[in-house]
Amino acid sequence: EKLFVSVIFLLSLITMTLAEPPGCKIRITDRGLEMLKAETKRFVEGELSNITMPEMRGKEGRFQYTIKDVKITELNLTSDLRFQPDVGLLFEVQNSSITLNFQRCILYWLFYDEGAINASAEGVNIFTVLHLIKDQDGRLKISNITCNAFITKMRARFSGTLGRVYDFIGTLLTTGMRFVLNKQICPALNHAALVLVNQLLETVPVRTEVNSYVGIDYSLLNDPVVTETSLDMDFRGMFYDLKNENETLVNNAVNPVLREYDRMVYLALSEYFFDSGLYSYFKGGLQKQLLLNSFQMSKDLEMLLRTTYLGKIMMLDPAFMEHPLSLELEVTSPPRSTIKTSGAMVAVNCNVKVLVLPPGKPAVQLSSLTMVRIIQYIQPILIPLQGPLKTMLQISAVPLINNYIKRGVQIPLPDGMDFIEEVVEYHNGYIIVGANLHFRTGLREIIERKLSGETDNSRRTNLPAEA
């Protein structure tokens, strides 16, 4: 028995060790959930206001009645949205009211009366739990909904010539209405969650093209972890070459650790996230070679080149001073990133040639250096590089790297939701972006746009400039 327990423990330890670390983590805190409360309430009110109720007919003694054209005219919901540990989300409505309007047709002996009835459902209570999982495609999904709804009482006020006469049968009518309304609430919320909200979650990118060279895989690695204060999700966070999607970089980076709860949302990106992007761009052949002549390079770079190689140009032929220069830079291996508490860096190995271009004659090489290592902060502040050639590389290669960074990085958020007020923290092996959330439009509008086939072209979210 002891041997069996030891084997189980060992297998569990091996499984934990071999588990794929995430390249990207997202934490939604209770502050973020607080912002979602009002939006969720509006969405639920919209769904409940669309409830349709069947025509009701009945007979009690000499009374025969028909109720039709039931419409919900007003909802006053006192609601709460919070995390349900180990499950997902809890949406609760307590002691609220719903106002309805419907048409009555009543026959008593030979007397016939019809008119409108204004009714109010009071003591409305709804308890709904959304079960969150990772589906087979690696996408966050609501797998199930637990719903309980009940209405404490219902009152009706009659109008028309016999309104006061029929007040006493109000209990009969409202009892039936309360029963039917009770039965309609949970199906409406089930449809809202399992169909409409899941359609919204389908807008989150899982495996998608970034551009014509690379794609990114944002599939969930496991089910979300839900506590009383947060919802944490581990994403693969891996770029890949579109021409060879199976050739990817192995993730040996550290597992980012999220400890903060002050912001609405936290995004953690490991070195692997950046390295897989640099690796995929390299394998995809995107600008492995950079060719610049005097007309293309900046004035600062051209002046640096002419100053550095003045002596050699004069030794070769003073007339070369009038001719354009050329800089050839070829990246020889995938760049690699290093993230520490002091900042983030990128290392690039490349071959560099500096040439002068006499008109109508072969280019003349002024300098050639292979396997040059450039280390730079991703931040605007660069590590001082010694020597004129390294300074030249800093001017030419760094803008090339920063160019891809400025294009922005897609992050796994639904349509219509953005990061704002971002703050970046550097840790050993990963960065953490803390931010607040902003809805560009309401949940219902987002879902309606999804159903109509429209897409949101502003999905790309830029990391802060300092990242």
Measured between alpha carbons, how far is 32 from 57 in angstroms, rounded to an integer? Answer: 47
Which DSSP symbol is given to 220? Answer: B
Return the half-sphere exposure (C-beta side, CA atoms, 13 A cut-off) of residue 37.
18
The two three-digit tokens of residue 350, written as one number = 């490349």
The two three-digit tokens of residue 40, written as one number = 């969720």
Task: Count each helix (H run) and each strand (E run) in the chain, helices first.
Answer: 9, 20
Strands 88-108 and 111-134: antiparallel
The two three-digit tokens of residue 47, written as one number = 């769904």
- One pLDDT digit (tens) per residue for the chain, 467 residues: 555 555 555 544 444 445 789 999 999 999 888 888 888 888 888 888 888 777 777 776 677 777 788 788 888 889 999 999 999 999 999 999 888 877 777 776 777 777 777 888 889 999 999 999 999 889 999 999 999 988 888 887 665 555 555 565 666 667 777 777 888 888 899 988 888 888 888 877 788 888 788 888 989 999 999 999 999 999 998 999 888 888 888 888 889 999 988 889 899 999 999 899 888 888 876 655 566 566 666 777 778 778 887 888 888 888 888 888 887 777 788 888 888 998 888 887 777 788 888 888 888 888 776 655 544 444 353 333 334 444 444 444 445 445 544 455 566 666 667 778 888 889 999 999 888 887 776 666 766 666 665 555 444 444 544 44
The two three-digit tokens of residue 195, written as one number = 């169909």
Residue 380: count of CB within 10 angstroms of its CB: 9
Q: DSSP characters for 153-174?
A: EEEEEE-STTTTGGGGGHHHHH
Chain centre distance of CA 467: 18
Output phi, psi for 403, to 5 deg.
Answer: -60, -40
Whole-angstrom CA distances from 427 to 125, 143, 218, 297, 414 are 46, 35, 22, 36, 27
Measured between alpha carbons, how far is 304 from 210 in angstroms, rounded to an integer? Answer: 36
Q: What is the pLDDT of residues 254-281, one digit of tens each?
A: 899 999 888 898 999 999 998 998 888 8
**In this structure, are residues 137 and 121 in contact, taking their beta carbons and an 8 Å threshold?**
no
Q: What integer pLDDT is reported at residue 410 of this predicted model? A: 61
* H or E segment and range at residue 343: strand 343-356
Whole-angstrom CA distances from 289 to 215, 303, 351, 370 are 21, 22, 9, 13
Measured between alpha carbons, how far is 198 from 447 in angstroms, rounded to an integer? Answer: 10
Measured between alpha carbons, how far is 293 from 355 in angstroms, rounded to an integer? Answer: 9
Q: Angle, nearest 10°, between helix axes 30-49 and 443-451? A: 60
Measured between alpha carbons, how far is 234 from 215 in angstroms, rounded to an integer? Answer: 18
Three-class DSSP category at 213: coil
* H or E segment and range at residue 282: helix 271-283
Measured between alpha carbons, how far is 79 from 91 in angstroms, rounded to an integer? Answer: 7
Return the half-sphere exposure (C-beta side, CA atoms, 13 A cut-off) of residue 75.
21
The two three-digit tokens of residue 458, written as one number = 């502003």
Measured between alpha carbons, how far is 180 from 171 in angstroms, rounded to an integer? Answer: 14
Strands 24-29 and 230-235: antiparallel
Whole-angstrom CA distances from 225 to 52, 253, 270, 331, 455 are 37, 21, 19, 41, 29
**In this structure, are residues 267 and 22 in contact, taking their beta carbons and an 8 Å threshold?**
no
Q: Which residues pair with 24 in a beta bridge?
A: 235, 269
Choose among 20, 225, 18: nearest CA to 10. 18
